[in-house]
């Protein structure tokens, strides 16, 4: 399994843990990968994880250090308020171990200085609000 496959699998597992029983404010109903298609009327909020870009930062022999950027979009029903979108932003960063000083709690390779959140609120005719977080993960891939 490639390193990025492991990263994507780990990221999905962390997001699947976001629910009040685990101390979070949000109950994410389901997490979808980039090739999964949420069905119509899927329970919300739901999360979609998409790789956005992957950049080589250095090379040594058969290995390259890379940064993979992910978009994590969480969709809410139109009835959700701004606080719910803000809460999931905090929940996702907590799930990834943002600011943790204990290495085992921090998502491996998380670039803490590279995250961004973009809010989108439903307009006329739309049925969902969403927040999209962009995060970066540093990793080493071997090509031998």
Sheet of strand 128-142: strand arrangement: 30-32, 46-60, 63-77, 128-142, 110-120
Q: Given a cut of 90, is residue 27 above it in pLDDT?
A: yes
Query: Cα separation of 131 and 110, whole Å?
Result: 19
| 110-120/128-142 β-pairing | antiparallel
Q: Which domains does the chain have, with CATH numbers?
A: 3-142 (3.30.70.1700)
What's the whole-model pTM score? 0.92
Query: Cα separation of 75 and 97, whole Å?
Result: 22
Dump pLDDT digits (tens) for 61-103.
999 999 999 999 999 999 999 999 999 999 999 999 987 778 8
Partners of 141 in the β-ladder: 64
Please give the pLDDT value at position 110. 93
Cβ pair 67, 112 in contact under 8 A: no
Q: What is the dihedral of CA 101, 13, 92, 104, to 10 degrees?
A: 0
């Amino acid at each position: 399994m490639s390193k990025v496959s492991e990263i994507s699998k780990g990221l999905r597992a962390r997001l699947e843990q976001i629910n009040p029983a685990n101390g979070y404010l949000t109950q994410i109903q389901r997490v979808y990968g980039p090739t999964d298609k949420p069905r119509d009327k899927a329970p919300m909020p739901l999360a979609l994880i998409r790789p956005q870009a992957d950049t080589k930062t250095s090379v040594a022999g058969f290995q390259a250090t890379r940064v993979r950027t992910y978009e994590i979009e969480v969709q809410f029903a139109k009835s959700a308020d701004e606080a719910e979108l803000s809460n999931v932003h905090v929940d996702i960063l907590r799930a990834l171990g943002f600011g943790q000083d204990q290495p085992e709690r921090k998502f491996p390779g998380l670039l803490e200085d590279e995250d961004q959140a973009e809010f989108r609120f439903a307009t006329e005719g739309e049925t969902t609000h969403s927040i999209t977080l962009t995060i970066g993960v540093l990793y080493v891939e071997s090509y031998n």
